[in-house]
Structure 1
Amino acid sequence: MKYKKIKQDDVYNILVNVAQDIMSPIDVINISNIASLLKTSKYQVKKYIDIMVKDNMVELKCEIIHDEYEVIPPYWGYRLTEKGKDTKQYKAKQKRHLEIIEECFCGNNSHFDTKGWGTDEYGDIMYLERSNY
């Protein structure tokens, strides 16, 4: 199998998308999944992850998803740190995500207030408050 050549920005963009995914209960992703998304080798992804870990842009984290119906094993993966989220690239994508959320959920017939969406103390996009309807 021929692997696609990637850059550090490709890996960073995946981490940004995972951090801003409002449908995911966790904001971590493992090396195998990043490699699969980028159609490349785990070695290339690990190389760039290691660089970002040294620069304090990314950290290894264990997330536990709570489910009342089944036992889910802990999920180990990488996520952006505060320094990793403090970039123009991250903020531009975050702004675009908020615009999409407003377009989808904050129209004239919506039960949501346009000011309801925002970021929490970690910079993650989330619905902060519900409007009175």
Structure 2
Amino acid sequence: MSRAAFLLAGAVCALAASAPAQAASAAFVAGAEAYRDGRESATRPVEQAEFAYCGGYWTVWNDALAEEQVSEDDLAVLSPVLQPPSAPFQAIATFSKLNEADTLNDEVEEGRVEARKFLADALAGDESAARALFGTLGACQL
């Protein structure tokens, strides 16, 4: 499976429609649905480069949680796996699958760059970006 498959999984989730929740932003409600869709997809990391790419996504998400960038209302609509204290374990589990961590820095950074952009846009209310971010995290969950 290639990184393109993970992007495709995120993009497919980005097309899904969602209904708004009470206090959470529409972007995070859409992201929660996309995460479920990503989890239910057949896309999973298999190759070392895919684990590294996914690790980049999980690192960005964990940083956002640690820096409290996400409101409590938005966190409340997300899967418990995406919330503290569970979320950091996904990054650890993903990186633990790497045999060649030192040689995969480019793949990790590629995932980080993409995830940072999607996260920034999602925090600004972009539903499509939230779907792409959380759909990819769903596909990347081990």
TM-score, normalised to structure 1, is 0.27
Structure with bigger strand share is: 1
TM-score, normalised to structure 2, is 0.26
Which structure: larger Rg? 1
